[in-house]
Amino acid sequence: MGKQQYPYSLVTVLRCSNCNRSYPVSEVINVSPCCNQPLLVEYDLQKTFSKEELAGRENDLWRYFEMLPVKERVNIFSLGEGFTPILSLKKLSNKYGYSSLLMKDESHNPTGSFKARGISVAVSKAKELGIKKIIIPTAGNAGGALAAYCAKADMECIVIMPAHTPDVFKNECEMYGAKLITVKGLINDCAKKANEINEKNEYFNISTLKEPYRLEGKKTMGYEIAEQLNWHLPDVIVYPAGGGTGLIGIWKAFDEMLKLGWIKKPLPKMIAVQPENCAPIKAALKDPDNWEKNFVPAPTIAHGLAVPFPFGMNLIKKVLAESNGEVITVTEKEITDGIYEIARTEGIFVSPEGSAAWKALPYLKQKGTIKDRDNILLLNTASGYKYMEDLHKR
């Protein structure tokens, strides 16, 4: 922690993302009771909070304390998450003719993925609200992160993960002392199992966007992108989307920073990348009314993107529409090839999800979404190391 005295959190209320009804932040709450939709955390943006105040603060996401929901600093459970580097992929951009290609490398986070951000904030806020037990259905990375932060915060946790997830993801949960349950199927099947186990509601369920605070942790990627690029945003941000938290969070951060006067329009185009094996966003944009009935998801090496029915679909669609963005799909072969390509040119072992973002670029260029002079920023959301078992199988 820095030496400076910090002002307080500017958090005000929770707001239903569908009808704008507000709820107090002091309440233990999952989704909006009015509409059964995600709740968004709101802040008092009339108060002056200048970006100059960030100078000299700690190099983790808690530097944005005013714009985070935790009220007392004693409730912060941090393992040093956030403030990950933005790397320049010069060799790849020269090879493929991109004018500026950057990668925010989230593999530097505790437990090797950007999930540490959301989980650090959610566990801290849960502790502040007096919660002692947490349950999570996960594709893998969020489970490991939850297990680690619950160890730190002396909380009990249950992690429910698809049985086909590489062993490392399972082992790390047990290593950190979590109770692990595996389920045949994808994350939606794990979510069903979580509800069965938690019939009596003894555990607080922190499933993606079914509690308000993971989004707040994830949004700090947006704050960091702005701050680390000296408040000049890229033209295009390419994000591997599963539940969509990062995409929605980054856009929320941009909205808050516009209101704080920290950044100016135009904002980047937000691109969601999904594997062909599981691309519900593409399906929902194509056939908004019937897609769920006809949707048949399959597993993918990009485990984090195997989210067949994202709870935040309305918010995801809103971000794509407001940012003039779109969804791109990539094949399993492209994803695997991309991992090797980035490793061998840039020396970064990206996750399959990060590789998916990279492999979306030729499509975006071909469609004219990326222009010759555009500054592009890719998110590598996790380390590739944990996926080694799957890579060896191919």
Ligand X SMILES: Cc1ncc(COP(=O)(O)O)c(C=O)c1O
Minimum CB separation from ligand X for residue 13, in Å? 24
Partner that binds at residue 325, options Zn ion, ligand X, none, CB closer than 5 to 8 Å by kind? none
* The one-letter amino acid at 274: Q
Q: What is the distance in angstroms between the CA of the first residue and the CA of the last residue of the chain?
A: 44
Query: CA 25, CA 72: separation in Å to the nearest integer?
Result: 13
**Residue found under tokens 């890579």:** 391
Q: How many other CB atoms are found less than 10 A from the CB of residue 181?
A: 18
DSSP, collapsed to helix, strand or coil, labels residue 350 as: strand
Query: CA 103, CA 118: separation in Å to the nearest integer?
Result: 20
Nearest to 330 by CA among 364, 296, 307: 364
Nearest to 39 by CA among 105, 102, 125: 125
Work out whether 222 is an interface residue with ligand X (CB under 6 A).
Answer: no
Partner that binds at residue 226, options ligand X, Zn ion, none, CB closer than 5 to 8 Å by kind? none
Partner that binds at residue 34, options Zn ion, ligand X, none, CB closer than 5 to 8 Å by kind? Zn ion
Which tokens in the block code for residue 102? 């950057």
Work out whether 137 is an interface residue with ligand X (CB under 6 A).
Answer: no
Work out whether 298 is an interface residue with Zn ion (CB under 5 A).
Answer: no
- Contact residue for ligand X among 82, 217, 240, 308 (CB under 6 A): 240
Partner that binds at residue 21, options ligand X, Zn ion, none, CB closer than 5 to 8 Å by kind? Zn ion
Partner that binds at residue 19, options ligand X, Zn ion, none, CB closer than 5 to 8 Å by kind? Zn ion
H or E element, residue 269: strand 269-275
With contacts defined by CB under 6 A, how many residues of the chain interact with ligand X? 19
Work out whether 141 is an interface residue with ligand X (CB under 6 A).
Answer: yes
Our CB check for ligand X shows the closer of 186 and 267 to be 186
Q: Which stretch binds ligand X (CB under 6 A): 18-26, 44-52, 68-76, 135-143?
A: 135-143
Work out whether 40 is an interface residue with ligand X (CB under 6 A).
Answer: no
Our CB check for ligand X shows the closer of 353 and 374 to be 353
Minimum CB separation from Zn ion for residue 31, in Å? 9
Q: Are 272 and 255 in contact (CB under 8 A)?
A: no
Our CB check for Zn ion shows the closer of 127 and 252 to be 252
Our CB check for ligand X shows the closer of 66 and 326 to be 326
Site for ligand X in 324-363 (CB under 6 A): 351, 353
What angle do the packed helices 141-152 and 167-175 form, to 10 degrees? 10
Query: CA 66, CA 10: separation in Å to the nearest integer?
Result: 5
Our CB check for Zn ion shows the closer of 19 and 388 to be 19
Site for ligand X in 102-121 (CB under 6 A): 113, 115
Work out whether 382 is an interface residue with ligand X (CB under 6 A).
Answer: yes
DSSP secondary-structure letter at 143? H
- For 49-54, the CB contacts below 8 A with 24+ separation are 49/7, 49/10, 49/260, 51/227, 51/231, 51/260, 51/262, 53/7, 54/227
Site for Zn ion in 1-20 (CB under 5 A): 16, 18-19
Our CB check for ligand X shows the closer of 124 and 138 to be 138
Query: CA 342, CA 334: separation in Å to the nearest integer?
Result: 12
Q: Helical H runs in 153-275?
A: 167-175, 187-197, 214-228, 245-260
Q: Are 363 and 331 in contact (CB under 8 A)?
A: no
Site for Zn ion in 24-83 (CB under 5 A): 32, 34-35
Minimum CB separation from ligand X for residue 37, in Å? 16
Work out whether 245 is an interface residue with ligand X (CB under 6 A).
Answer: yes
- Nearest 10 degrees: Cα torsion 33, 38, 41, 45: -110
Work out whether 246 is an interface residue with ligand X (CB under 6 A).
Answer: yes
Q: Which stretch binds ligand X (CB under 6 A): 138-146, 147-155, 190-198, 335-343?
A: 138-146
Minimum CB separation from ligand X for residue 307, in Å? 7
DSSP, collapsed to helix, strand or coil, labels residue 80 as: coil
Please give the C-alpha separations between residue 1 and each of 113, 117, 154, in angstroms, as whole numbers. 22, 16, 21
Minimum CB separation from Zn ion for residue 350, in Å? 38
Work out whether 384 is an interface residue with ligand X (CB under 6 A).
Answer: no
What angle do the packed helices 352-359 and 332-346 form, to 10 degrees? 90
Question: Which chain residues interact with Zn ion by CB under 5 A?
Answer: 16, 18-19, 21, 32, 34-35
Question: Which chain residues interact with ligand X by CB under 6 A?
Answer: 113, 115, 139, 141-142, 208, 240-246, 304-305, 351, 353, 381-382
